[in-house]
Amino acid sequence: KAGVTQTPRYLIKTRGQQVTLSCSPISGHRSVSWYQQTPGQGLQFLFEYFSETQRNKGNFPGRFSGRQFSNSRSEMNVSTLELGDSALYLCASSRTGEGSPLHFGNGTRLTVT
Amino acid sequence: AQRVTQPEKLLSVFKGAPVELKCNYSYSGSPELFWYVQYSRQRLQLLLRHISRESIKGFTADLNKGETSFHLKKPFAQEEDSAMYYCALDSNYQLIWGAGTKLIIKP
């Protein structure tokens, strides 16, 4: 069974640009969640989707958005990039998202210069 | 406020010694708690969850509601246990994470 796949693995962007990250969950998993990981703040929740519906959103500015498609694949978008957005962005999938274990991708390393 | 605290950033023990990684939580309700582990150059993965009450790779964790703790224990550490360990609390479709403890097992 293929694991969670995130693309691209690395991205370098300039302040003010926007970026789209992609996540393909494990087959059969309908919940996809996104986390930001930084040395200073650790792992922080961005949002969670189930069957194309956002069920929860973390405490991030509106520049951070996401969506889920009918095949459960998900994308997150960050507009007007700031230096502080440099981080590892992790996607995780689970069957239902309600207390079920998360399966993580390798992450996308975003560097904003 | 919901919070997970891992007081030790770094824990270093000798091979064969017991290991205890501490985790305390703050949650108004019945908590759903997990331990995740990240080995070098590998993705973050589930180690165990309190609801299953099982032992994985020799590790166990018991939920103590009175002390609001979910400490991870192993009686005899092995070198392959060296990794980053995260305690996490499930709440409303998200995981609230501790800061993580880096465990180093010395030969």
Instruction: State residue B86 phi and psi, 5-degree precision.
Output: -120, 135
Q: Indicate yes or no: CB of B94 within 8 angstroms of CB of A50.
A: no
Contacts of A45 in chain B (CB under 8 A): 94-96
CA A23 to chain centre: 7
How far does B44 lie from chain A, in Å, by closest CA? 6
The pLDDT profile of chain B, 107 residues, written as one tens digit per residue, is 899 999 999 999 999 999 999 999 999 888 999 999 999 999 999 999 988 878 889 999 989 999 999 999 999 999 999 999 999 999 989 999 999 999 999 99
Give, in order, the Cα–Cα distances in Å from B67 to each of A83, B24, B95: 40, 8, 21
Closest listed residue to residue A35, CA positions, set A98, A104, A84: A104
* Residue B35: closest C-alpha in chain A: A101
pLDDT, tens digit, for every residue of A20-51?
999 999 999 999 999 999 999 999 999 999 99
Binary contact (A50, B93; C-beta < 8 A): yes
Please tell me the distance from the alpha carbon of residue A22 to that of residue A78, in angstroms, as a whole number: 12
Q: Which of A42, A50, A101 sits opposite B46 (nearest CB)?
A: A101
Give A57's pLDDT tier (boundaries 50, 70, 90): very high
Contact A31 B93 (CB under 8 A): yes
Q: Widest CA span of chain B, in angstroms?
A: 42
